[in-house]
């Protein structure tokens, strides 16, 4: 029996939408960076934030018109407090690195929160031509012997994380963007990403969705669950660790807190 034309139509899942929207915004950002050589520094950051936000808002309105959106660059959407489905978006994470051509450590984050949990998400790393998806996990590469490798902010490494690294005898690996750091755990570049001292829900939602899809169990630094779509989107700390180091990282965090 052959499928009817309707059966053959591909109905995009929420995962597909997250990946399509994040990848598409990444292409817009790459184009902007290539075409607008007249822009630099804060002008390029602002243009990037705006172009990616416009693309994402337009695509989500087209693909998922009934859902609310919480975006770093968007106006507060009053529907989001009562909505069952909210897209949590950072149109350009690692804005500073985006503005420093030719750095590639910047990302686009698109996640979907539904009734209390993250159910879809994608992190695009446009300058590396990669999009990580919650629903397409790859096995983590084997961990090499040696000290724990911790991803930290290259521009403002939190003193809390520097102290954790000292106590663990860890090597710190500086890079921009929360999404890039979380994906560096998945691609085996580092063993863990620990952050404290300030961040918002959009900085971690999509990276946490993707890391969860890859079998990891991200938490707050005190081990409590990460909660999204709260009234105040301030969500200042995060731990994403591969299983082999989670125990020692947790122990160091518990001692310091």
Q: Which one among 177, 212, 219, 229 touches ligand A3P, defined by CB under 6 A? A: 177
Handedness of CA 44, 16, 152, 230 (dihedral sign): positive
Q: How far is CA 174 from CA 4, 105, 143, 182, 216, in A?
A: 53, 10, 19, 12, 21
- Which residue, 58 or 156, has its beta carbon nearer to ligand A3P? 156
CB-nearest residue to ligand A3P? 198
Q: Which one among 121, 176, 207, 233 touches ligand A3P, defined by CB under 6 A? A: 176
Stretch near ligand A3P under the rule CB under 6 A, chosen from 62-70, 119-127, 150-158, 213-221: 150-158
- Per-residue x/- marks for ligand A3P, 31-70, CB under 6 A? ----------------------------------------
- Do the beta carbons of residue 55 and residue 24 sit within 8 Å? yes
Stretch near ligand A3P under the rule CB under 6 A, chosen from 26-34, 86-94, 138-146, 238-246: 86-94
Burial-class residue 247 by CB neighbours within 10 Å (0-12, 13-18, 19+).
Answer: exposed
Stretch near ligand A3P under the rule CB under 6 A, chosen from 111-119, 130-138, 160-168, 174-182: 174-182
Q: 203: annotated binding-site residue?
A: yes
Q: Return the ∠ at Cα 88 (arms to 12 and 106), rounded to 5°.
A: 95
Q: Which one among 53, 71, 153, 229 touches ligand A3P, defined by CB under 6 A? A: 153
- Which residue, 174 or 243, has its beta carbon nearer to ligand A3P? 174
Q: Which one among 23, 53, 71, 95 touches ligand A3P, defined by CB under 6 A? A: 95
Rounded to an integer, what distance in angstroms lies between the CA atom of residue 8 and that of residue 6? 5
156 is a contact residue toward ligand A3P (CB under 6 A): yes
Judged by beta carbon distances under 5 to 8 A according to partner kind, the member of Mg ion, ligand A3P, none in contact with residue 137 is none
Backbone angles phi, psi at 159, to 5 degrees: -60, -35
In angstroms, give the least distance from the CB of 159 to ligand A3P. 11
159 is a contact residue toward ligand A3P (CB under 6 A): no
Judged by beta carbon distances under 5 to 8 A according to partner kind, the member of Mg ion, ligand A3P, none in contact with residue 176 is ligand A3P
Q: Where is the binding site for Mg(2+), in residues?
A: 72, 90, 92-93, 203
């Amino acid at each position: 029996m052959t499928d009817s034309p309707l059966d053959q139509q591909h109905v995009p899942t929420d995962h597909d939408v997250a990946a399509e929207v994040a990848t598409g915004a990444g292409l817009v950002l790459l184009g902007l960076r290539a075409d607008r050589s007249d822009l630099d520094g804060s002008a390029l950051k602002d243009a990037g934030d705006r172009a990616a936000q416009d693309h994402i808002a337009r695509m989500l309105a087209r693909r998922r018109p009934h859902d609310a959106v919480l975006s770093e660059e968007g106006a507060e959407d009053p529907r989001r407090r009562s909505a069952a489905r909210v897209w949590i978006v950072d149109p350009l994470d690692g804005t500073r690195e985006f503005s420093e051509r030719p750095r590639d450590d910047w990302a686009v984050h698109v996640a979907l929160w539904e009734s209390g949990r993250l159910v879809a998400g994608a992190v695009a790393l446009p300058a590396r031509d990669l999009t990580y998806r919650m629903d397409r996990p790859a096995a983590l590469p084997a961990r090499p012997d040696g000290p724990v490798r911790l991803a930290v902010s290259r521009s403002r490494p939190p003193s809390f994380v520097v102290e954790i690294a000292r106590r663990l005898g860890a090597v710190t690996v500086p890079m921009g963007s929360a999404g890039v750091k979380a994906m560096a755990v998945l691609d085996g570049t580092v063993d863990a990403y620990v952050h404290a001292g300030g961040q918002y829900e959009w900085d971690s939602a999509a990276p946490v969705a993707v890391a969860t899809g890859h079998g990891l169990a991200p938490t707050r630094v005190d081990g409590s669950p990460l909660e999204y779509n709260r009234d105040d989107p301030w969500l200042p700390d995060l731990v994403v660790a591969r299983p082999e180091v989670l125990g020692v990282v947790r122990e160091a965090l518990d001692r310091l807190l």
